[in-house]
Structure 1
């Protein structure tokens, strides 16, 4: 998933509004930030190296430390512990730790190949970006909408209904942000740009 991870930060938000929302956004994307850092360091390098040449189907990456299941659980424990040390709230810390792990659990359905621990350990993901990338992107879109509508429901239940303007904005951002990747599932970005500009 790409933007869908950000949508998961909305799940606990109604309950923990006294804490900064950006913390939940970071928690939901810890494995992604770790992957980017490791990719820049050459540890989890991608192929092809240029985003312009890549498609969801052609991108090859081994995300051993950032996205495999046991490393993700360890990341969740560490991040949750840090959040508890800073904010001294067990529930908020547990949610932050869970969002880290949820990132990888979501990627098992919508994402690349992931294993339990090391590269040769059992594969536990669908590798949907390789086998059915368009369907994977559509599933991410529906999952994001489910998170958004759950947020609307919890806000209404707590007596703070989301305004129509904010609801339209949220739905629009996630709809455009996710569905715009549909062509890139199988067509390199440089070909799409050339198609548009020609």
Structure 2
């Protein structure tokens, strides 16, 4: 997933308005930021290395430390402990750790191949970006909209209904932001650009 991880931060937001929303966004994307750091360091390299040559189908990446299942539980535990140390709120800490774990759980359905622990361990993902990239993008689209409507429902229940303008904005951001990747599922970016 790409933007779907950001949408997942909406799930607990209604309950934790006293905390900055960016904390939930950050926690929902810890594995991604960790992966970018490891890719930069050459530990989890990406092939092809140029974004312009990549498609969802031809991109090869081994996310051993950032996105495999056992490391995801470890990251979630660390995130939960750090957030608890800072905010002293057990429920908020659990949610933050869960968002970190949810990132990888979602990527098992919509994402690249992930293993249980190391590269030689059991594959636990669908590897949907390789096998059915367009379908994977549509699943992310539906997941994001489900998160948005969960948030809208929870806001209404708490007596703070989401304005139509905000709802339309959320739907447009996630709808366009996700569906714009459909062509890049199988066509390299350089072939899509006019120059």
- State the number of aligned residues: 195
Asked if residue 29 in structure 1 is aligned to residue 20 in structure 2, the reply is no
Deviation at 1:188, TM superposition (A): 0.1
Deviation at 1:185, TM superposition (A): 0.1
User: How far apart are the structure 1 equivalents of 2:107 and 2:12?
Assistant: 20
Summarize deviations over 1:109-132 as a string: whole Å, max 9, x none: 000000000000000000000000
Over aligned residue pairs, what C-alpha RMSD do you find? 0.5
Deviation at 1:51, TM superposition (A): 0.3
User: How far apart are the structure 2 equivalents of 1:128 and 1:76?
Assistant: 24
Q: How does 1:88-103 map to 2 (within 5 A)?
A: 88-103=88-103
1:146 alignment counterpart: 146
Deviation at 1:176, TM superposition (A): 0.5
| Partner secondary structure for residue 15 of structure 2 | helix
Summarize deviations over 1:78-135 as a string: whole Å, max 9, x none: 0110000000000000000000000000000000000000000000000000000000
2:45 alignment counterpart: 45
Asked if residue 183 in structure 1 is aligned to residue 183 in structure 2, the reply is yes
User: How far apart are the structure 1 equivalents of 2:105 and 2:78?
Assistant: 17
User: How far apart are the structure 1 equivalents of 2:135 and 2:72?
Assistant: 25
Deviation at 1:162, TM superposition (A): 0.1
- Runs (4+) of structure 1 moved beyond 2 Å? none
Q: How does 1:1-198 map to 2 (within 5 A)?
A: 1-194=1-194, 197=195
Deviation at 1:58, TM superposition (A): 0.2
User: How far apart are the structure 2 equivalents of 1:5 and 1:12?
Assistant: 13
TM-score by length of 2: 0.99
Summarize deviations over 1:167-187 as a string: whole Å, max 9, x none: 000000000000000000000
User: How far apart are the structure 1 equivalents of 2:189 and 2:38?
Assistant: 23
